[in-house]
Structure 1
Amino acid sequence: MKVKKWLFLPFLGGSSDRERGQRRDRSRSRSRRPSRPENGALVKHESADAFANKGEEELVQDYNAPIRWYMLATLFPLIAGTFGPMASMFNICAIAIPWRLIVDPSSPQSQGEHIDDPRWLVAVNIVSLVIAILANVALLGQMTNRLRFNVASPVTIVGWYISGFIDIALAAVAPSQVPLPADNALATYSQAYYYCIFSGAIYVLLSIMLSCTAWGVWIGNYSSEFKLSLAQRSLMLQTILFLAYVLAAGGVYARVEGWDFLNSVYYIIVTLFTIGFGDFSPETHTGRSLYFPMSVGGIIFVGLIIANIRSLVLESTSVKVSTRLVERMRYKSIKAGSPEDGIVKVRGVLHRDTNAPTELARREKEFEVMREIQAAAAHNNRMIALSMATMAFMILWFIGSVCFWQAEKAVGGNNWSYFEALYFTYTAQLTIGYGDFGPQTNSAKPTFVFWSLIALPTLTVLIGAVGDAVTDFVNWYTVWLGKHAPNVFKILTGMKKRSTVDDTFQEAIEKVGAEIEGSNTNGSGFHNIADIETGRVVPAEITDTAFGHVRLGTVEEAYKPFLMLQAARKAIEHLDEETPRKYTFQEWSWILKLLGEDEATEENHRRVGQPVPENAEVATPVCLSPHQVWSWMGQESPLMSLEEGSEPKWVLKRLMEVLELELKRRGDLHVAKEADITSKEGDR
């Protein structure tokens, strides 16, 4: 199938309802008929066509799609939407003041007398800015689905290439065409010159990234629609508004305090990021009065953007990595073991035997293996996130220190040692800012502005990753303590009766452990609906003798819609739980029986890793024919079916589908029965 190249999507935030419905229909069709297995194990990757037709939510939760496709289709446009406005902000800063400066030796901030720029330099800089703004507008139009891909993408990519090369060329020819006075040792280039270098480099880098995305569209790896959610699309607009706020506040303080415009921008960044070196502070009554609304509004702005970066960008990336890790571990567990003998290999040398004397016990073993794979993948995902965040933090710390170390050797600088640069960078990165060290030179301040715009979100991500890792450990320890608390207390009390405090403490530990494990024995699951331990699909209050000699199958058939609605109500309650609900095997077995499948029989079941019979077809439950089969360890497993994003959503959706068919069948039977009675009465 050839990928549709050009899409016109009329409203902010994604596809129209009709297009979303078409994608859901295609997804449902694909989920019912997965790709043909190879020796019983599904193929490891999906086709580019299947990937191209997925929406943003399906894309994040797609365990078959390679992560590189996700990066090209989602992360690259998102990075471009965030850093593109930043580059234009730097471009404005490159025009704001002249490029050359005679430093005043008495000024602690490397201020002095500016030397006017040639008119051609200002004119070319303005042309670069106008082209870049048009490119940003085109990208924003594409993100809000106001411009088609074939219009917006070339304008954005070519526009940023042109602006980037113009800025880089201007910075390269400046020493020869706009030279510093040779007879003055205090002459240096101003902050505007270095902002020009930053803007040019960012433009070119973003153009390369979007070119890779466009290349993927042209070869058909994914559609021309950016795989972004509404909240992710709004991040570019939020960034534009924040940077406009910084520039506007900088202009006001430049006028009120008499500072250079770029020093004012530096002051605004240091203030809003709560670093506060103290090298710049308002001294006029008007400046101090404006500080109150400016700081509050700006800090709220920063908090909102950083929260969005974590929740929208990084959490979706974490979900993508996690789902991919689950699939890779599942695939490797099957391949590393002996699937033909029912042996799988999990976590290094650990082997799991999925053979059992009964089908129900065998299926339960498969289920537990998948739970173990999920837990291992979740742990690895947290460690990867922690490692990546730590690496980014260290790179910004050490590489940033090198930049500031060299920058402070310029005219007007304090000539720091590398250790002093390390100390300054660390205090700034943690937003402490004692003020004993601060950037002084005209190259250090633009570097600090760019560095801080990256460093603060990185610090937030690192804190979140550390928190997740610590929470994982605390949860594990609490579960372990909850399991072993009775034995521990028996040893400590010498098998004597425990005090009330001991009992209370033990019960609290066991309760917390049960909650973390997702145990549903406390009545919050399906246990109060029916007796799921026995597998009977009848209401819990009905006893075996309630209806005399009526067959159990007749009772189950009569109460089936009633139990479906009760189970759906419980699933809806589970959707609101803070910790994602994970159902036990007993609950899954009962739910599947309610949906028309029996875990105790071999019908519609297969053994993963073993050949599928020729007349059989791998499909997700609920199977629609006797020829459809599935396994807990296959890609068709409910534990792998992440289309709905959680187990309660999967259960709720399947319950509604089966209930719809069941009520339709009962209605047809009732109408047919009434029609038959009416026909017989007419014959009389």
Structure 2
Amino acid sequence: MNDPGLDGPIGNADERVKEEYHDEREDEDDTDPDEDEEQNYLIPTRWWYASTACPLAAGTFGPMANAFSICALVENWRVYVPPGGSADHGIDVKDPRWLIAINAVSLACALIANLSLLLNMARRVPFAIAQPITIIGFWVASVLLIALISVANTSIFDLPNGENKGLSGAYYYAIFAAGLYQIISYLMCATVYGAYTGHYSKEFKLTVAQRTLMLQTISFLVWQHLWALGYSHIEGWHYLDAVYWADFTSLTIGVGGTFVPKTHTGRSLLFFFALGGVVILGLLVGSIRSLVLDRGKEKIEARMTEKARQRLVHRVARAIERQDKAPKRPLNFLHIHKLNDTIRKALVLQPGTEKMTEKTRRHYEFEAMRRIQYVASARRRYFSLCISVFAFAFLWFIGALVFYKAEYTQNWSYFACIYFSYTTLLTIGYGDYEPMSHAGKAFFVFWTLLAIPTLTILISNMGDTVVKWVKDVTIWVGEVTVLPSSESTILDRLKYGALKAIFGKRVARERHTQRISARQGRDEDTEAGENVAQPPGRILGLKQLRKRHKQDKQKSRDTMDPNERLAADYAEEEGNEEEDAKQHGNKVAEDEHHLRRQLLEEIRKVYADSNAAEPKQYTYDEWVYYIALLGQDEGDSKYHRQPNAADDAPGSHSGKGHASGPDSPTSPKSQRHMASLDDDGPLPDPESFQWSWVGQRSPLMNEKSEPEWLLDRLFRKLEASLQKQLPANDGSTPPQRNGDTNRERPESAQSSSTEAALEVSPSDWSEKVNDEKKELG
């Protein structure tokens, strides 16, 4: 439905864009998109932290350090302490001009560095220009503050006539700012080092939401400090005392006591300040959870999965080597990840062996990879929980120790400090303890801001482990007692609950399905079995597709997603054209339209899976079906190989993108292996793209989720099929409908291209279905 007047301009613009993009990339290595995905998935964790986590930390804590620098500049560093008094209630002494000037220069350097980092993240300033400015700016700002802090503890800073001198909260804010500037500068040095040594791109590959985290941090701090400035005038407080009040108010701690609004104006404005602060804080916490945590979890789990897979691959290689030397004990090396004997025996078998059918061998290989993923996921969850618990405990007890030292004038015991720290971290805020010293209030602000990401991470990790376990136990108890269930008797409920607790939900559902089917005297392929939990790994024939399409049409179109509705319309159109081609006796056109219809139907389902709250993991039967659509047969050994330990050699997947050698990702050999499921033309020699479920080219070893990976490949296959109906000439002849274009091609050429894409023609599907029914028993 293109406008005729736009075809030419759009085509020319597209060519110009391609030419400009090619000019920009001519000095870079040509890499495949799938290779980029794999490199992102397999890149070592330390380089992921350097490329993503370090810039995010710098962008988050940079504005915090700037806010502390402002606090260090706007008030005097020294106070006069009367005899018998304390610095907490001292009298301000004006700072020398040189201290104010150096302090202002430090703040200016830090602001320029932070602005440079923000513009670099927004891709407004090149990496090579922005990063030196960022690193040097933060480092100079830190050095200047460290110099002032050092001078403040010498005789140069003493009061005249030997009067007692004390240090105000501005001095302690300068300490926190200097420390943060130093840390940020070193973090960005690590980022620059990794970029210039080729471990990742020199440009930040951050999403819009990740860049927004820095803006949300700035918004939160600006909101706090502007209101603190207003309340310092309304309530007559010192500015730093107002910052302390704004901090415990917006974080809903509510220490109370000394600093509370007492004027009608202050109490009236509190409604707006508190509401706005809670909203911005909620956005900030949400960003930390969805961006830092979710992405970090994926990366850590990916690395743990890759390490576990490498251990299994190397042990398989050792077991194969020992088969001749110790034939009775070759599988001792495979006592890993609790793999059973059958899976371990299947892993050492060559593809096409007579000892086991190829599909069965691949099924066990798939289960081994699933076991690796399960073990890696469990280890990641509990490892993350341990780290977050340690971080919370460290923040808790170190905070208590600092308060114990800072509040010595109040004679707090260490237990009282632990109690105060705990009630503060959990935002209980009884108000029976309150820091009064300059050091205590400044540390309180810094400490509570650190608690935001720490508690967010802890709560999230507890949700994946402890809270999830309690939730599952609660649901299990309900299922076997009073909650509605598909099981009719208490005994059946207990059996189902025991299976679910021991083997998991999937196994329990499968056995439940088998039991229901046995009671009804039907096979699990029947309609009743499908309503419970049908294994969808069947090569569906025309009748099955028609039946499914008819059932889908009965759904209310108002409840469909717009994309799903569009796919349904296209599927219906392809079905009509399939019927038309069948009536004309054009077998090739019928096959083409049937393939596209089947692809569209599966794209709808996979699209729904990709939008689910938790990404779906497909069963082996489902993968068999989808891989058949992509052009391969799981029962044909010519497409398969054992996992190759040589692919896991050091340097083969270092993440640099420039590794060399016969097994490197950019070598011709590795590129041939990579073409396994993505080749849309006639299939080349199968030996050039053999792959394994436990290999690095496995669809399960990918940065994308399984539905996203499948959706991308199904779209590619659909696009390749649509390209076949376009005329092969210069494009002057418009494409014909209802298979007319296909009739003009030689039938032999049509059949070869179609069967190469499908590997299974519709006429053979009924036979395939019967064979699979017999195999599945």
TM-score, structure 1 length as denominator? Answer: 0.80
Following superposition, the deviation at residue 298 of structure 1 comes to 0.7
Checking the alignment, whether the CA contact within 8 Å between 1:334 and 1:345 is kept in structure 2 is no
Cα separation, 2, equivalents of 1:398 and 1:191: 22
CA drift of 1:426 comes to 1.3
Q: Please state if 1:654 is matched with 2:713.
A: yes
1:136 and 2:206 equivalent? no
Q: Which of 470, 476, 479 in structure 1 is aligned with 2:466? A: 470
Deviation at 1:517, TM superposition (A): 8.2
Pick from 689, 696, 708 the counterpart of residue 628 of structure 1.
Answer: 689
User: What is the Cα deviation at residue 674 of structure 1?
Assistant: 3.1
Alpha-carbon distance change, 90 to 18 in structure 1, aligned in 2, over 3 angstroms:
same
Q: Secondary structure at the match of 1:346?
A: coil
Q: Could you tell me which residue of structure 2 aligns to residue 372 of structure 1?
A: 371
2:653 is aligned with 1:583: no
Query: Is the contact between residue 128 and residue 163 of structure 1 (CA under 8 Å) also seen in structure 2?
Result: yes
Deviation by residue 1:313-358 (Cα, 9 ceiling, x = unmatched): 1211111101111111111112234453695443268663225510
Q: Is the 8 A contact 1:408 1:415 kept in 2?
A: yes
Q: 1:311 is matched with which residue?
A: 290
Structure 1 gap ranges (5+): 1-16, 35-53, 490-497, 678-684
| Residue 64 (structure 1) aligned with residue 42 (structure 2) | yes
C-alpha displacement at 1:72, in angstroms?
1.0
Contact kept? 2:500, 2:508, Cα under 8 Å: no
Cα distance in 1 between the residues matched to 2:312 and 2:291: 32
1:637 maps onto 2:698 in alignment: yes
Pairs aligned (count): 616
Q: How does 1:215-226 map to 2 (within 5 A)?
A: 215-226=193-204
Decide whether aligned partners of structure 1 residues 442 and 480 sit closer, same or farther in structure 2, where only a CA change above 3 A counts. closer
Structure 2 regions of 5+ residues with no counterpart? Answer: 1-19, 324-329, 350-354, 514-523, 548-578, 648-662, 728-738, 748-777
Q: Are the equivalent residues in 1 in contact too, given 2:363–2:620 (CA < 8 A)?
A: yes
Asked whether the equivalents of residues 531 and 539 of structure 1 are also in contact (C-alpha less than 8 Å), the reply is no
Offset, 1:460: 2.0
- Matched to 1:603, the amino acid is K
Q: 1:8 is matched with which residue?
A: none
CA distance in 1, matches of 2:86, 2:451: 26
| Aligned partner letter, 1:655 | L
Distance 1:530 1:350, change over 3 A: closer
Equivalence for 2:741: 671
Residue 387 of structure 1 and its aligned partner are, at CA, apart by 1.1
Residue 641 of structure 2 is aligned to residue 618 of structure 1 = no
Alpha-carbon distance, 1:666 to partner: 4.7
Q: Is the 8 A contact 2:116 2:125 kept in 1?
A: yes
Do the aligned partners of 1:479 and 1:516 also contact (CA within 8 Å) in 2?
no
Match of 1:154 among 132, 144, 150: 132
1:96 and 2:74 are equivalent in the alignment = yes
1:207-286 to 2 correspondences below 5 Å: 207-279=185-257, 280-286=259-265
Residue deviations 1:64-100 (CA, integer Å, cap 9, x gap): 2111111111111111111111111111101111111
> 1:347 maps to which residue?
337
Q: Distance in 1 between matches of 2:642 and 2:473?
A: 35
Q: Residues 117 and 325 of structure 1: is their aligned pair in 2 closer, same or farther, counting only changes over 3 Å?
A: same
The 5 Å alignment of 1:277-676 reads: 277-279=255-257, 280-337=259-316, 338=318, 340=320, 344-347=334-337, 352-353=343-344, 354=346, 355=349, 357-409=356-408, 413-473=409-469, 514=505, 532=536, 535-540=539-544, 559-609=594-644, 617-619=672-674, 620-622=676-678, 624-625=683-684, 626=686, 627-642=688-703, 645-667=704-726, 670-671=740-741, 673-674=743-744
- Taking a change above 3 Å as real, the CA distance of residues 169 and 142 of structure 1, as seen in their structure-2 partners, is same
Which amino acid is the alignment partner of residue 385 of structure 2? L
Classify 1:622/1:224 alpha carbon distance in 2 versus 1 (closer, same or farther; 3 Å).
closer
State the 1:26 CA deviation. 8.2
Aligned partners of 1:365, 1:427: CA distance in 2, in Å?
A: 52
Native 8 Å contact 2:81 2:166 kept in 1: yes
| Partners of 2:592 and 2:721 within 8 A in 1 | no
Is 1:170 the counterpart of 2:148? The answer is: yes
Change (3 A) 1:511 1:670: farther
8 A contact 1:539–1:563 mirrored in 2: no
Query: Is 1:232–1:312's contact at 8 Å kept on the other side of the alignment?
Result: yes
| CA-CA distance at 1:670 after TM superposition | 4.8
| SS at structure 2 position matched to 1:432 | coil
Q: Give 1:159's aligned amino acid.
A: G
Contact 2:87–2:166 under 8 Å retained in 1: no
1:219 CA drift (Å): 2.5
* Shift in Å, 1:480: 8.7
Q: Secondary structure at the match of 1:278?
A: coil
Deviates more, 1:668-677 or 1:655-664: 668-677
SS at structure 1 position matched to 2:441: helix
More RCO (CA 8 Å, sep 6+): 1
- Secondary structure of residue in 2 paired with 1:603: helix
Contact in 1 for aligned 2:588/2:742 (Cα 8 Å):
no
Tell me if structure 1 keeps the 8 A contact 2:589–2:743. no
Contact kept in structure 2, 1:538 and 1:563, CA below 8 Å = no
In 2: Cα distance, 1:534 partner to 1:306 partner: 45
CA distance in 1, matches of 2:339, 2:302: 23
> 1:592-611 deviations in whole A, cap 9, x for unaligned?
11222111111211111478
- Residue identity opposite 1:571 in structure 2: V
1:198 paired to 2:182:
no
Task: Tell me whether 195-204 or 281-290 shows the greater mean CA deviation.
Answer: 195-204
Does the 8 Å contact 2:725/2:742 carry over to 1?
A: no
Deviation for aligned residue 1:470:
2.4
SS, match of residue 101 in structure 1 = strand
Q: Tell me by how many angstroms 1:458 deviates.
A: 0.8
CA distances 1:624-681 after superposition (whole Å, capped 9, x unpaired): 4223111111111111123xx211111121112122222333555853643789xxxx
Q: Which residue of 2 aligns with 1:43?
A: none
Q: By percentage of residues, which structure has more helix?
A: 2
Evaluate the alpha carbon distance shift between residue 275 and residue 114 of structure 1 in structure 2; reply closer, same or farther with a 3 A threshold: same
Distance 1:453 1:523, change over 3 A: farther
CA distance in 2, matches of 1:181, 1:599: 88
Q: CA deviation at 1:444?
A: 1.0
Structure 2 distance, partners of 1:523, 1:111, is 83
Is the Cα contact below 8 Å between 1:424 and 1:437 reproduced in 2? yes
Q: Does the CA contact (< 8 Å) of 1:621 and 1:630 recur in 2?
A: no
TM-score of the two chains, using structure 2 as the length reference: 0.71
